[in-house]
Structure formats: C-alpha cells, structure tokens
Amino acid sequence: MENRWLEVRTAISPSDSFFNRVRFMALSVRSMSGKYADAITRVAVGSDEEPYDLDRHLPWSRELGIEWYWVDREEFSSWKNSGNQYAATIIHRFRPPFAAQNVLVLDPDAIALKPFDELFALVSEKPCVAGVMAHKSPWRGSPFKTPSSQD
C-alpha cells in the first residue's frame, strides 16, 4: 500500500457521460484541499470492447489523480446474461490492491460537499465497512453496527 491518506473508487462504462461524472467527483473531493488534495481516484471501466488508453483520451484525468483500470473483457462478458451485466465492473471496485489508508467507494455521480473526516475518524478507531447504502453492510457479520442496523 502506498503512503496516501485517501483513495476513491468507482466503476463506470466507457462513455462521455460517465467520464464527466468521474471528473466532477474527483474535482469535488480534491477541492476540499488539505489531505484531500492528493486523493487518487481509481476507476474500474467495464465494457465488451477492446480497452484503449483513457489517459490519452482524457488528458485532464492525470492532473486529477485518476487511474483507469479496465475490467478483463472476458470477465465482463461472462456476466452478460446474468441479470446484471455490470456485476464484474461493480465487483472490481472492492478488489485489492489498495493504495491508501482510507478507501472511499462512491457511485460516479456522487459529489463531495464536505470532508469525510467524521467517517474516517470512526473507522480509524475500529476498522470496518461504514456508510454503506441503506445503512447495512453488504457483508454478513460486519463489525459496523448502529442502533438501527439489523443482520
């Protein structure tokens, strides 16, 4: 693991609308300055097409610390008839290696409006998965519990 404070992860299909969402998401996180200013954003890109050089296609992305990772095309295609053809891309967000002390998984249309310091303070006391959708961890037996959470 690199000695970074924050890594943001998301997953997309390769389209202009998703590229714009990633750009605004990364800008919003980095705009909080301080320890957020050098956050990297790792983007899983899934599609049944040949990968191409997104750094070259989107020259602004390197300046924002965006790292593009294509999901294996065969793995992506294997989910085509599963009911969720994007499952391989979604799952890729949770795969190591991780490059920072804190990993924040966001949908590409999320915009950060204020720092996540309170959340990171919570997980530094007791490492866990926190702040998940519907306030319930996707993993059974998660150490993160709130008064309203149920297994």
- pLDDT class of 69 with cuts at 50, 70, 90: very high
pLDDT on residue 25: 96
List, as one string, the DSSP characters of the chain. Answer: --S-SEEEEEEE-SSHHHHHHHHHHHHHHHTT-GGGTT-EEEEEE--SS----HHHH-THHHHTTEEEEEPPHHHHHHTTTSS-TTHHHHHHTTPSP--SSEEEE--TT----S--HHHHHHHHHS----S-GGG--SSTT-S---TT---
Tens-digit pLDDT profile for residues 89-135: 999 988 989 989 899 999 999 999 999 898 888 888 887 777 666 55
